[in-house]
Amino acid sequence: MSVSLLIADIGGTNARFALADPHAAVPLVEDSVREFAVADFPSLADAARHYLEQAGAQASRGVFAVAGRVDGDEARITNHPWVISRSRTCEMLGFDQVHLLNDFAAQGMAISLYRPEDVVAIGGAAWTPAPVEQPRTYAVLGPGTGLGVGGLIIRDGRCYPLETEGGHVSFPPGTPEEIRILDILSAQFGRVSNERLICGPGLVNIHRALCEIAGVDPGLLEPKDITARAAAGDPLGMRAVDVFCAVFGAIAGDLVLTLGAWDGVFLTGGLVPKMLDSLRHSGFRQRFEYKGRFSPTMARVPSLAVVHPRAGLLGAAAYAVDLLRREAR
């Protein structure tokens, strides 16, 4: 198999690669997707070469979405030691072009290709895909290894993804319990960002803080241990999940207000599909809407859990197609 577009979604834990067909209605070539642990490779170029060899494919251009800030020629993975040079990667792969974008810019671009079955509404506000000719403003955020935040602005038939590091905004507690959690995490970390609570390790931080409040030693746990305890009826595990969902909702609502994303917020990231039932039956939507004088407005804003299994790659493919369209004009 041979195409000219290689796409990737690079997180703090996994690197997902695929091929893109710019002439297809859905440009992501589904059966080309492969996933590797980033720790297994010294660089993005090495991982990309390994993928192309495994897939038996050739490429001359790459679009790589990375979980970190893209600054000119360079991107640093926030939760992994890779430092990616666009020009060096292009040279190492022998490509004509390489484009780097923030992973949540790719998540934003994916919104332009979502179908109704790719999302599940959290709350009663419904969403219907709109033609790209209609102006729209969307927010996107999601917990995985970290907390990604972005947006998508659609104007005059063009999609403009927003690249942000909004996961590192300071955490604003909304209840006395959350104030106590903040105090405990501040003693450990100093400044506490939203990402310290809303991501996989963040769920562990919340649980550990609740255990300290209760005078219990939880031992060393992973996020899956806490969700398993919650499912088994453990009170502290259940409370940790409840606090996680409520804080997630408050942060999502704040992002809508910040961006003016009245057309909807998309919840993505590795934890969302795993916690879908918890999100639907938690205080997420209540805290999302609880915005004082703007509460009636927020009640009309859709909050949508993304269940598409490869949203980052879908967005990278959409970005690649958009680049080709611009070059053809």
pLDDT of residue 4: 74
- Residue 61, H or E segment: strand 61-66
H helices of the chain, where? Answer: 44-55, 86-93, 103-110, 176-189, 200-214, 223-231, 235-259, 271-274, 276-280, 284-289, 295-298, 311-328
- 295 and 215 in a common domain: yes
Confidence category of residue 69, pLDDT binned at 50, 70, 90:
confident
pLDDT of residue 1: 45
CB 98 within 8 A of CB 316: no
- 248 and 313 in a common domain: no
Q: Is the pLDDT of residue 84 over 60?
A: yes
Domain assignment of residue 264, yes or no: yes
214 is in an annotated binding site: no
- 321 and 273 in a common domain: no
Sign of CA dihedral 84, 85, 90, 93: negative
- 181 and 105 in a common domain: no
Confidence category of residue 223, pLDDT binned at 50, 70, 90:
very high
- 207 and 86 in a common domain: no
Q: How many CB atoms lie within 10 A of CB 188?
A: 11
- 315 and 263 in a common domain: no
d(CA 141, CA 47): 26
Cα angle at 317 between 34 and 44, to 5 degrees?
A: 50
As beta bridge partners, residue 303 has 265
3-class state of residue 70 by DSSP: strand
Q: What average pLDDT does this structure show over 89-117? A: 94
- 214 and 203 in a common domain: yes
- 67 and 181 in a common domain: no
Chain center to CA of 83: 20
Please state the length of the chain: 329
Phi, psi of 20, deg, nearest 5: -120, 140
| C-alpha distance from residue 68 to each of 113, 114, 145 (Å) | 23, 24, 12
Task: Identify which of 90, 87, 62 has the alpha carbon closest to the alpha carbon of residue 5.
Answer: 62
Confidence category of residue 276, pLDDT binned at 50, 70, 90:
very high
10 is in an annotated binding site: yes
13 is in an annotated binding site: yes
3-class state of residue 144 by DSSP: coil
Domain assignment of residue 75, yes or no: yes
Lowest mean pLDDT among 212-216, 278-282, 322-326: 322-326
Confidence category of residue 83, pLDDT binned at 50, 70, 90:
confident
Mean pLDDT value across the chain: 93
- 179 and 297 in a common domain: yes
Confidence category of residue 2, pLDDT binned at 50, 70, 90:
very low
Domain assignment of residue 137, yes or no: no
Domain assignment of residue 263, yes or no: yes
What secondary structure letter does DSSP report for 275? T
Percentage of the chain modeled with pLDDT above 70: 98
d(CA 242, CA 230): 9
- 174 and 299 in a common domain: yes
- 298 and 202 in a common domain: yes
Range of the domain at 255: 166-306
d(CA 271, CA 306): 11
Q: How many domains does the chain have?
A: 2
11 is in an annotated binding site: yes
Tens digit of pLDDT for each residue in 160-177?
A: 999 888 999 999 999 999
Task: Identify which of 239, 188, 190, 234 has the alpha carbon closest to the alpha carbon of residue 210.
Answer: 239
Q: Is the pLDDT of residue 82 over 50?
A: yes
| C-alpha distance from residue 59 to each of 20, 36, 98, 295 (Å) | 10, 19, 11, 49
The structure's pTM equals 0.90
d(CA 286, CA 54): 47
- 316 and 270 in a common domain: no
Sign of CA dihedral 35, 38, 39, 40: positive
Domain assignment of residue 139, yes or no: no
CB 186 within 8 A of CB 176: no
Tens digit of pLDDT for each residue in 43-55?
A: 999 999 999 999 9
Domain assignment of residue 249, yes or no: yes
Domain assignment of residue 57, yes or no: yes
Give the domain CATH number at 33.
Answer: 3.30.420.40
